[in-house]
Amino acid sequence: MVALTRIEAKVQEFLEELQSPLVLELSANLQSGKMLRSKLALNIAAESEESVCLCAIVEMIQSASLLHDDVIDNATTRRNKPSINALFGDKNAIMLGDVLYSKAFGELTTFQKTYPLIPRIIANAVTTLAIGEMEDVELSKEFNDDEAKYLTMIEHKTAALIEATAYAAAFLAGKNEKDAERFQIYGRSLGVAFQIIDDVLDIVADSKDLGKPALSDFKEGKTTLPYLYLYHLLDDAGKIRLRKAFKRDLEAKEQEWVLEQLHTSGAITKSIGLARHFGKVGVEAIANQSCDKLIEIMHAMIDRDF
């Protein structure tokens, strides 16, 4: 897609403006993702100088959040490649994240005159994202059996920036406040569904495709939705066994038990069902907006290979 190439070039242009060889060296090792947020914005606002600029800003923010996330999680890989913190250390990863955040906020000010709501929408999302990171860290301290806490955390950590991107892009497309809010709901729903499916894939996907070992979320201290559902489906002995497995490097026998329980209990199916529910909410929100491509994006994201 030509527009995605333009977005990558715009990010590079922004970084070159900083005149820092070190920033360019570090950023050259960033792993490019699926650019979901950019695809979303382009399908709402179409390709233009303004939309490409907005997407570049959002991609820098997303990269910054992942840099900090990898440090927090002590992650050594990102999309099957060594993470920045593994290559250059935690300090450089944190500082590069700070540079990307700061540059992105600086570029956001260019929207102030023509689209005054956009800087606030994106800035608020980054604040919410950071709160979500804090909530994630807090929840990882012990086994979480509260579905509401999990859903609130992923709405903040994952969905906030996707929601803001869709909301901001709607204003770029000339939508009024009421219609822009429809895209906001779509973005939030897409973000929550996206994270639930990611959490399911951590369990069922091939580790090569996933870019990290299976069940790594549970080992890192993340009680994602399938484990949460499984916990409430187990008997008392099973509940104790699952809690004991939390945040541990499991032996093969114990890992097999966890996987078997996740599949046979219906916890995975129930998790996918909730993702589909959020997908339906998002699609219904934009039902009268003639956005077939966004409906395709929602279905494709939820129906990823299991």
pLDDT at residue number 219: 87
pLDDT in tens, 169-207: 999 999 999 999 999 999 999 999 999 999 999 999 865
Question: At residue 297, does pLDDT exceed 70?
Answer: yes
Question: At residue 208, does pLDDT exceed 70?
Answer: no
Mean pLDDT computed over every residue of the chain: 93
Question: What's the half-sphere exposure (Cβ side, CA atoms, 13 Å) at 193?
Answer: 27
* Confidence category of residue 100, pLDDT binned at 50, 70, 90: very high
Question: At residue 118, does pLDDT exceed 80?
Answer: yes
How confident is the model over 208-216, as a mean pLDDT? Answer: 62
pLDDT at residue number 79: 79
pLDDT at residue number 191: 97
Which pTM was predicted? 0.93
pLDDT at residue number 206: 67
Q: What are phi and psi of 82, to 5 degrees?
A: -60, 135
Question: At residue 209, does pLDDT exceed 60?
Answer: no
How confident is the model over 95-118, as a mean pLDDT? Answer: 97
Question: At residue 66, does pLDDT exceed 60?
Answer: yes
* Confidence category of residue 213, pLDDT binned at 50, 70, 90: low
pLDDT at residue number 170: 97
